[in-house]
Amino acid sequence: MRWIVFLFTGLGGVLSATAETPKPSYVLDTKPTAKVSGALGYSVTCPMMTAATGWVFVIPVLPELPSQGAVKTSTVPVGSLTREKSREARQVLTLQFPAKGGSQSGEVRAVYEATLYSRHLRVLNPGETGPKVPPLSAADRILYTSPLPNLDFKSAEFQKWLIDKNLVLQKGSTSVDYARSVFELIRAQYQYEYLPKMDRRASEVCRMAKTDCGGMSHLFVSALRSQAIPARCLYGRWAESAKPDDKLGAVPYFQWHVIAEFYADGVGWIPVDCSSAVLWEKPDAPSKNFGQQMGNFLTQHIDPDFEIDSVHFGISTVQNNQTPRWWVTGKGKVDGNIHVESWTVSKQ
């Protein structure tokens, strides 16, 4: 005899005999990949400065992250540890020194040291229990769901884009589901283009067909923050030395890059590299850039929109601090300045 089993509720209703398929549970496998030391050299010459008196350079301090630990930032000359003035209050080193003999040139060097970690998102196996992940603090949850000038997801333009693209978090969807849908949309509908002075505000990027790693990361992070999912941009450089004559567009390239990550409760910070997927993957192929990080990227700072104390000229608002920001005092002009950059990485 075949038995058919029905489940009854306490109110006499009948529940489906077939239960809804449970959402998968995820885990991030994290492993150390290398100890790296990245040397950043930077010099500026202002031919129209007739009598310089002093220089100020500001360099970000490496943050501790799931992707990097045992971090250390040192500079020549030695800098003073302080914080930039935005609500994120990121640590920076301010290097202030006189212009010897009225020199038209200022030069600094920073050494970044860290242990890098690979991260791979996967579904938990049946019966497997993932590691306990500390919950995100209330302060960080507020910080990483708030708007910034470049993450302007509350703008009318961006809100319309969310609706037009059907990117509103649906009931029953997880943060991983939503993040993947945003990532796949960017991968399918955007092309890569780098212009040094392009507008990377999310409200502009959402209306464009081309942008760079920063623009795509701003778009991704803004979409997630709009749905109260904590997300952030990681600004830094690939953990490999700059190659001679390597260029990004028409500009010498020193391994700058921006990726994103979002926080999933019980899982942690999950990496996403939109522009690498756009550049190197076929849109219809499974992506290696969602939930995967090879441990070859050094993050210099979190998020855009720095408010830096220039010491002599008030607060300066800049999109990022991957390359040192600088000011010079004295007589003359900074027009026509010439800068020289180097990036050399060694690994253990």
Q: How confident is the model at residue 18 (pLDDT cuts 50, 70, 90)?
A: very low
Measured between alpha carbons, how far is 342 from 241 in angstroms, rounded to an integer? 9
Q: Residue 13: pLDDT above 50?
A: no
Angle at 14 (CA atoms; ends 8, 20), nearest 5 degrees: 100
CB 90 within 8 A of CB 325: no
What is the structure's pLDDT at 10? Answer: 36
Mean pLDDT estimate for the chain: 92
What is the torsional sign of CA 204, 206, 210, 215? positive
Output the pTM of the full model.
0.92
The string of pLDDT tens digits covering residues 57-113 is 999 999 999 999 999 999 999 999 999 999 999 999 999 999 999 899 999 999 999
The string of pLDDT tens digits covering residues 252-295 is 999 999 999 999 999 999 999 999 999 999 888 889 999 999 99
What is the structure's pLDDT at 22? Answer: 55
Measured between alpha carbons, how far is 84 from 61 in angstroms, rounded to an integer? 11
What is the structure's pLDDT at 234? Answer: 98
Average pLDDT over residues 175-201: 95
The string of pLDDT tens digits covering residues 120-145 is 999 999 988 888 999 999 999 999 99
Q: Residue 207: pLDDT above 50?
A: yes
